[in-house]
Copies of this chain bind each other. A is one copy, B any other.
Amino acid sequence: MAGSTFGTIFRITTWGESHGPGIGVVIDGCPAGLDLDESVIQRDLDRRRPGQNKYTTARKEGDQAEILSGVFEGKTTGTPISILIRNQDQRSRDYGNIMELYRPGHADVTFDAKYGFRDYRGGGRSSGRETIGRVAAGAVARRLLESLGITVTAYTRSIGPVWVDDDKLDLAYASDSPLHMPDAAAEKRAQEYLDSCIRLQDSAGGTIDCIVTDLPAGLGEPVFEKLDARLAQAVMSIGAVKAVEIGAGTKAASMNGSQNNDWYEQNEEGPRKATNHSGGTLGGISDGSPLLLRASFKPTPSIAQPQQMLGRDGKCHEVSIHGRHDPVIVPRAVVVVEAMTALTIADLLLVNMAARMDHIRKIYQKQDK
């Protein structure tokens, strides 16, 4: 398996299991001269940290990031940035009873099939804690994008049956709210729905939308490294994501061309897109309008009610899983979607620098020629 690396120029490699000594990431290819210290990373790690309210797992972890290399006197040096987060609260005895069982909806059965055995403590590498490396690296990518004026913002669009309407999107509200939902009324309904899930020993899924603003036109490398294709890989690689949509997404399939084609309206500063069904990308290249994507998350597979489970003995068993699990992972995944989006865009931004001879001349041509 060599699947832990993502990116061509801005390239990350994540590592770590939920119950091993730690979790981390190496960022190779971050340009030199970017302001960076641990607080930048800590801010995003804190946003995904468990134990914040009753809808997230009670596991307590400090999740303190330590930068081990690649930063000198507050700036990136161009060399690999290694970030380490020690695991602290590893009650692995909780998982003893599932050593010989394949939990429904978990990767237990497939890790055994692929590798012949597995680290069964809390999901090992397929645990949600794996995303810590992504978030730490994503914070660095975001810092790079922000220095160019590009912002990446995700929020909870739905939880179970509760959706936020298009005309209610209050992103400022979502940034600090418990479920990161951009509409207080919808969020209240979602909380009531989650309360009922908890009562029923069940769990819920949901959707996360992400928007990128002030993205330069030209990013994305046809035909396999298109902006939308790379984002689809990046976001689908997050555990529990079952669908990725760009712009109008699945709705585009039932539209007519005359509806779906975005059109331009003339305003004072010149033509601008009046609609954005394309979601900011045409032919796999950013068009300068906001990038829009949506990820659908399945409900948390770990639920307290008894379930039929396949055993390593090849038989079915009815078992209740104990342990600490979120009734919904969507609110904590908001920062993970942002991270994967920021990482994809940072990489394609650097790759695109070499697309044109005039870019190259800007960097290399001597003044006097």
How many positions in chain A have a CB within 8 Å of any CB in the partner chain? Answer: 169
The interface residues of chain B lying within 8 Å CB-to-CB of A31 are 354-357, 359-360
In the complex, the answer to whether A2 meets B9 with C-beta atoms within 8 Å is yes
Chain B residues, Cβ within 8 Å of A149: 366, 369
Q: Which of A97-132 contact B (CB under 8 A)?
A: 104-107, 109-111, 113-119, 124-126, 130
Residue numbers in B under 8 Å from A362 (CB-CB): 362-363
CB-based contact B297/A252 at 8 Å: yes
Question: What's the nearest-Cβ distance from chain B to residue A369, in Å?
Answer: 7
Say which one of A52-60, A177-185, A309-317 lies at the interface with B: A309-317
Which residue on B lies nearest to A224, using beta carbons? B6
Q: How far is the CB of A5 from chain B (nearest CB, A)?
A: 6
Q: With the chains together, A285 CA to B233 CA distance in Å?
A: 14
Interface hit among A39-47, A166-174, A255-263 = A255-263
- Provide the main secondary structure of the chain A interface: mixed
Tell me the minimal C-beta distance from A248 to chain B in angstroms.
6
Assess whether B256 is in contact with A204, with CB atoms less than 8 Å apart.
Answer: yes
Contact with B along A1-38 (1 / 0, CB 8 A): 11111111111011111001111101011011110000
What is the minimal beta-carbon distance from A349 to any residue of chain B, in angstroms?
7
Are the CB atoms of A22 and B223 closer together than 8 Å? no
